[in-house]
Chain A
């Protein structure tokens, strides 16, 4: 009876709010959770963001859905300002659901006298009033240690695997386009019961940005269906180099699976002209029209994954046991 009284005092309702980065994904998540999602953001004439939250947040769990994709600074600030408004409106807990986390590659001092931008962003969000962060395939999981609050990270593989299994790849070899992605490739290889793993080497010149070259490969790809896996496709330079190289080495087909599709610069042109047969990404970043219309690119949704993660955060069920494959 005492337990019931306590439960009655805490509202069972929770509120979904979304920034302007990816409304379709937020709506898909809301639909699965059978709730409404609203966007509390408008813009003043001088370009400043304005947030006004209309639903009653008192003693409610609030989830703020926002990918901090381009324009990254505006999207970060929308999220921070929504958190402050939610705090002031008496929310009991504020969770930031950040499917794509901008600046996540600036996660260490890769040279002297630079900031750790990703860490500064995480601190800004916590400082603004966020109690918990949920990300999807964050570039480096060490980021979770940059704040004292809980940080859950789930993987795009949960959503990508069913689509990959449908592809009927034979003599499957899962490849990583760089040394750093070995564990990811090994994970996918296990889940897809692949025949083997391959790693393409690259040497990246830090002074010249986003220029990379594939120089070598470990593993046998001859006459195999190869699946290259990565966390994100940005300018697509690395992945296209790796794919073309693998094809040259005699692979039967080369597909790519990645969680975040940024497609910056002339990425789509590079992909179209490459030997990549198909690229499968998720909707963590709102896909542009030209991405949706690209014949080589398939988009799968992470809405069921994120909806389930939100549900489990609410009810206190484990995330790692069910959602991390």
Chain B
């Protein structure tokens, strides 16, 4: 098996290779003065099982086109199979026509991956449970939730949140979905954490301005249950950070003692790092599906790696 990495997330690709006790096969990228790139595989791929690792986060178009070109090169040069590991699948929020005249961008990407004859796709924590149905090739949908559950039950985490109950880490801990769309995720997470209770905050979006406000709760718990609780907000991604910041503020206003965020994809658009650092959130846990550049790090940020999870899947 030969592993290749696009340019979007080399550290993750290297970690996956290390887990598989191998090395990434080199790709040479030439950048021309007009901005076009030419990639060249510097390894023989004839009759090889190959893997290409590329997250398609911002710059999304460049990352997708680079992925397409690498797959084109693998195919034209005789690779026996091509598995595309796309830890963060770009354009996944455009998975259906919301309003007349719109594009289904994700479907364009999937159709082209299929036409390039990708054998299998591995992706993590897709925004909608229906996304795998858009693929006509095998797709493995991995989740970082078990990784988060493990961390939440670890001594390290509980020392960090100053737990008074070293023997029962989950006592007085509740799960929070920042909007009503994430209930399935919250239920899965609750199951992994001995069925701890959950609540959701309700997001209102102004359709004209796109601004969001979070003012109310819904779910099995009542706001009166919140004082003294440790809240764990769980979501698939943090983009602008507005949703989790507002959700956390509402929780704190209602008496929770600490509020941590667990989200798989650190999309971090606009001023997300500053917004999160200055918010009432205590800690932000994300994974390395999206490469986080140094200037986007902030003191409250903790990054867990999905490398082992992906390498296990590749090894299987």
Q: Which residues of A contact B (CB under 8 A)?
A: 40, 44-54, 57, 70-74, 76-77, 80-82, 84-85, 88-89, 102-103, 105-106, 109, 111-117, 119-121, 123-124, 127-128, 209-210, 234-235, 262, 264-265
Flag if A111 contacts B108 (CB, 8 Å): no
The interface residues of chain A lying within 8 Å CB-to-CB of B60 are: 46-49, 77
Please count how many residues in chain B sit with their CB below 8 Å of the partner chain's CB atoms: 52
> What are the nearest 8 A-B pairs in CB distance?
A115-B72, A264-B33, A85-B103, A115-B73, A113-B41, A51-B103, A47-B58, A46-B269
Q: Which residues of B contact A (CB under 8 A)?
A: 30, 32-36, 38-45, 57-62, 64-65, 68-70, 72-73, 76-77, 90-91, 93-94, 97, 99-105, 107-108, 111-112, 115-116, 239-240, 267, 269-270
Of the residues A50, A54, A262, contact of B34 by C-beta under 8 Å: A262
14 intermolecular pairs with C-beta atoms under 8 Å apart: A48-B58, A48-B60, A51-B102, A70-B34, A71-B35, A73-B62, A113-B41, A115-B39, A117-B36, A120-B72, A234-B33, A264-B32, A264-B34, A264-B35
Question: In whole angstroms, what is the CA distance A89 to B99 when docked?
Answer: 11
Of the residues B35, B38, B77, B99, contact of A117 by C-beta under 8 Å: B38
The interface residues of chain A lying within 8 Å CB-to-CB of B30 are: 209
Query: How distant is A147 from chain B, measured CB to nearest CB, in Å?
Result: 12
Query: How distant is A80 from chain B, measured CB to nearest CB, in Å?
Result: 6
Grouping DSSP codes into helix (H, G, I), strand (E, B) and loop, the B interface class, with mixed when no group exceeds half, is loop
Query: Between A and B, how many residue pairs show CB distances below 8 Å?
Result: 147
Flag if B108 contacts A80 (CB, 8 Å): yes
Q: A73-B62, A128-B111 are in contact. Are A81 and B105 (CB under 8 A)?
A: yes
Of the residues B40, B57, B90, B112, contact of A114 by C-beta under 8 Å: B40
Flag if A73 contacts B59 (CB, 8 Å): yes
Flag if A48 contacts B101 (CB, 8 Å): no
Please, which residue of chain B has its CB at the minimum distance from the CB of A45?
B269
Please, which residue of chain A has its CB at the minimum distance from the CB of B107?
A84
Flag if B99 contacts A52 (CB, 8 Å): yes
Flag if B39 contacts A114 (CB, 8 Å): yes
Flag if B267 contacts A72 (CB, 8 Å): no
Query: How distant is A306 from chain B, measured CB to nearest CB, in Å?
Result: 22
Flag if A115 contacts B69 (CB, 8 Å): yes
Please, which residue of chain B has its CB at the minimum distance from the CB of A124?
B112
Query: How distant is A17 from chain B, measured CB to nearest CB, in Å?
Result: 11
Having A50-B102, A115-B70, one finds 15 other A-B pairs with CB under 8 Å, namely: A40-B101, A46-B58, A46-B267, A48-B58, A52-B103, A57-B101, A72-B36, A88-B102, A114-B38, A115-B69, A120-B68, A128-B108, A128-B112, A209-B30, A262-B34
Question: In whole angstroms, what is the CA distance A9 to B77 when docked?
Answer: 49
Query: How distant is B267 from chain A, measured CB to nearest CB, in Å?
Result: 5
The interface residues of chain B lying within 8 Å CB-to-CB of A80 are: 108
The interface residues of chain A lying within 8 Å CB-to-CB of B239 are: 45-46
Flag if A127 contacts B115 (CB, 8 Å): yes
The interface residues of chain A lying within 8 Å CB-to-CB of B68 are: 120, 124
Question: In whole angstroms, what is the CA distance A111 to B39 when docked?
Answer: 11
Question: In whole angstroms, what is the CA distance A123 to B267 when docked?
Answer: 29
Flag if B108 contacts A81 (CB, 8 Å): yes
Flag if A73 contacts B65 (CB, 8 Å): yes
The interface residues of chain A lying within 8 Å CB-to-CB of B57 are: 46
Of the residues A48, A106, A127, A209, contact of B105 by C-beta under 8 Å: A48
The interface residues of chain A lying within 8 Å CB-to-CB of B91 are: 48
Flag if A49 contacts B105 (CB, 8 Å): yes
The interface residues of chain B lying within 8 Å CB-to-CB of A116 are: 72, 76
Flag if B102 contacts A52 (CB, 8 Å): yes
Flag if A123 contacts B112 (CB, 8 Å): yes
Question: In whole angstroms, what is the CA distance A81 to B62 when docked?
Answer: 14
